[in-house]
Amino acid sequence: MKEFEKLEKKLGLDFKNKKLLMQAFVHRSYLNENPSFELEHNERLEFLGDAVMELIVTENLYKKHPEKAEGELTNWRAALVNAKMLTSVAEGLGFNDFLLLSRGETKETGKARAYILANTFEALVGALYLDSGYDITAKFLKKYLLVNLAEIIKTGSYKDSKSHFQELAQEKAGITPSYKVAKESGPDHEKKFIVGIFLQDEMVAEGEGSSKQEAEEAAATEALKVKKWK
């Protein structure tokens, strides 16, 4: 537990239930090799954290930017909570040093590790919410996640393919695109998703990724090419 005390100090947190903090870093693969470990894996915390994070980010954007329309706020939120951003924040906070992984997963880098880091960040948000409540979780996200908004706006990085395709679909066809998972394969720690992007009943394109979000982004990128929309 001493290692996690270092993390608490680094993040400026003080968990009442220290086991909740540790559980946020327990990957499913770790339990496969350590079945008698006292804690569950972090996937339920990740599920909760995803929803809590989206609400807090949405509330912050809504209150801080009353002059902005729903569409632009949606794009900013998507850029803040996507896997790429969460991975970057988690790496910057040194989460790699605290992950509880199987020996095999410890050797993995690249996309697989990035996906684990993003999920762990969501799990930590879920754990913090359960342990310390909404206000402290909001302060944490403001300090480490929402602080990236200025750079997102400056660089225009919020204009991802999903956002771009949605804007053009609404402008040119009067339709908001939808996404459906066509195929899901692989073990839990190495999932592959194929997602279709639709304009009403028309499937425009498909995309593949290691998360639904990544597959949706790939599908939107392909759809822009198919439609020849700039």
Q: What is the pLDDT of residues 50-86, one digit of tens each?
A: 999 999 999 999 999 999 988 889 889 988 998 889 9
> CA-to-CA distance for 181 and 218, rounded, in angstroms?
13
Give yes or no: 50 in active site: yes
Direct distance between the N- and C-terminal alpha carbons of the chain, in angstroms, rounded to an integer:
52
Single out the residue of 222, 189, 187 nearest to residue 208, CA to CA.
222
pLDDT at 101 over 90: yes
The mean pLDDT of 94-107, rounded to a whole number, is 90
Letter string b/e over residues 88-121, b meaning 16 or more CB atoms within 10 A of that residue's CB? bbbeebebeebbbbbeebeebeeeebbbbbbbbb
Catalytic annotation, pick one of 50, 131, 160, 217: 50
Residue 44 half-sphere exposure, CB side, CA atoms within 13 Å? 6
> CA-to-CA distance for 142 and 152, rounded, in angstroms?
15
Q: Give the pTM.
A: 0.73
Cβ-contact 198, 204 below 8 angstroms:
yes
| Confidence class for position 1, pLDDT limits 50, 70, 90 | low
Overall size of the chain counted in residues: 230
pLDDT at 154 over 90: no
Catalytic annotation, pick one of 122, 131, 160, 214: 122
* Domains of the chain listed by start with CATH number: 2-155 (1.10.1520.10), 161-227 (3.30.160.20)
Question: Which parts of 12-110 fold into alpha helices (H)?
Answer: 18-23, 28-33, 43-64, 70-81, 83-92, 103-107
